Amino acid sequence: MEELFKVFTSYVATAVEGAAALIIALAAVEASWRAVRIFVARPAAPDTAREGVRLRLARWLAVALEFTLAADILRTAIAPSWDDIGKLAAIAALRTLLNYFLQQEIEQQGRRQGQSGAPET
């Protein structure tokens, strides 16, 4: 029974990582499309439009980071050696810091857009 649980958890972790990869791929395609529209169709687009593309991509990357962290937690839950726990702690700390700084930048952009009344692209 325990072995079945480990196999199931491993499959779930792989599926969650797949979801993260799909999110990243779709976000990259969307950001590329938006960037092409800004840089080719409207070369004189304001900086806020360019920044909007970057921050929208950052939001999706933050979501993908949460998925990958969830997958790492699942993998560590089924085979928790001290080495695995240490690696998870390091990965979680790095991803948490990255998410924190992404969120700060997103909030700053939101405040700037709120002050200028510019719509998000």
Q: Which residue has the higher pLDDT, 41 or 25?
A: 25
> What is the pLDDT of the chain when averaged over all its residues?
84
**Contact criterion met (CB below 8 Å) for 109 and 57:** no
CA distances to 18, 45, 62, 102, 111 from 65, rounded to whole Å, are: 12, 30, 5, 11, 24
Tell me: pLDDT of 42 over 80.
Answer: no
Sign (positive or negative) of CA dihedral 10, 15, 19, 22: positive
Question: What does pTM read for this prediction?
Answer: 0.75
Q: Which of the two residues, 106 and 67, has the higher pLDDT score?
A: 67
Judged by average pLDDT, the poorest of 25-39, 43-57, 65-79 is: 43-57
State the distance between the two ends of the chain, measured CA to CA, in whole angstroms: 51
Residue 9 near residue 2, CB atoms below 8 Å: no
- Tokens found for residue 94: 């790095």
Residue 19 has what pLDDT?
97
Q: State mean pLDDT over 23-35.
A: 96
Rounded CA separation 106/111 (Å): 9
